[in-house]
Amino acid sequence: MIKLPNLFFGIKEDKYLIFDEHETVHFKTVRKKESDIIECTDGKGYYYKVKITQIGKKKSFGEILESKYIENNEKTILNLFAPASRWERLRWLIEKSVELGVDNIYITKTAFSNRDYKDKVEKINMVIRDSAKQCVRFHFPNVDFINFKNIQNYATKNTYFLDFNGQKLPANIASDVSIIVGPEGGFSKEELDFLSSNFNAIRLGNKILRFETAAFVALSYFAIALNKI
């Protein structure tokens, strides 16, 4: 039976890693005890081998035995502009984006998805952390909250938006890719005009998909093309 690794997240301070309450709960769930040796990351590219020195109620500590920077050997960037829409679907999309190796997640306010998730930063980071731990990613993606009108500042060479009137998926992609996905209600007329004059419209097919499913299909297509998974 394949045993999936248990990766833990800690913040480095001197020769120690500090684990917050969420991580402390994880220790208890998988029955880690003081003196156990565990594998950890800081989400910024570091791998740590750590000996747990103290498991508290809300915090735990470990001593770093080994550390190593894991090079991010990927040569390209994959960005997602996700609509600031219903939390459950957005949450799912963030979780899956991490698995698919997305580098930047821009949670974007559009005319028909203008929720403000800035107060959910911690919750979003927790989703990212848990997903990254599961699939053993040492480089967590960056998250930003932006307005639709600022998309251009973050767009990459190949920036696509999903639209039924778009072209088929491009066959060959070798450089950075950004994907812009509209919310359930679609883009407004003005937004579509802006997107059409600045970026490339692509369509996945002719059938209706939920926005987060469409986003996932597009992401996985480019993640395969760019060797992100």
The residues that touch its own copies, with contacts defined as CB under 8 A, are: 1-2, 4, 96, 99-101, 112, 134-137, 169, 184-186, 188, 204-210, 213, 216-217, 220-221, 223-224, 227-229
Minimum distance between the CB of residue 34 and its own copies, rounded to whole angstroms? 28
- β-strands 142-147, 104-109 pairing: parallel
Beta carbon nearer to its own copies, 200 or 213: 213
Q: Least separation, in Å, of the C-beta of 224 and its own copies? A: 7
Q: What is the sign of the dihedral through the CA atoms of 121, 122, 124 and 125? A: positive
SS3 sequence of 30-55: CCCCCCCEEEEECCECEEEEEEEEEE
Which residue's CB is nearer to its own copies, number 62 or number 186? 186
Long-range residue pairs from 29-33, CB within 8 A, at least 24 positions apart, any chain: 30/6
List C-alpha distances in Å: 6 to 31, 91, 140, 226.
Answer: 11, 22, 16, 27
Residue 67 or 134 having the CB closest to its own copies: 134
Find the shortest distance in angstroms from Cβ 103 to its own copies. 14
Least distance (Å) between residue 135 CB and its own copies = 5
Closest C-alpha to 146, from 178, 184, 98, 169: 178
Give the helix/strand (H/E) hosting 90: helix 87-99
Which of 100/105 has CB closer to its own copies?
A: 100
> Which residue type, as a one-letter code, is found at position 5?
P
CA 180 to chain centroid, in Å, comes to: 15
Min separation Cβ 99 and its own copies, Å:
5
Which residue's CB is nearer to its own copies, number 38 or number 218? 218
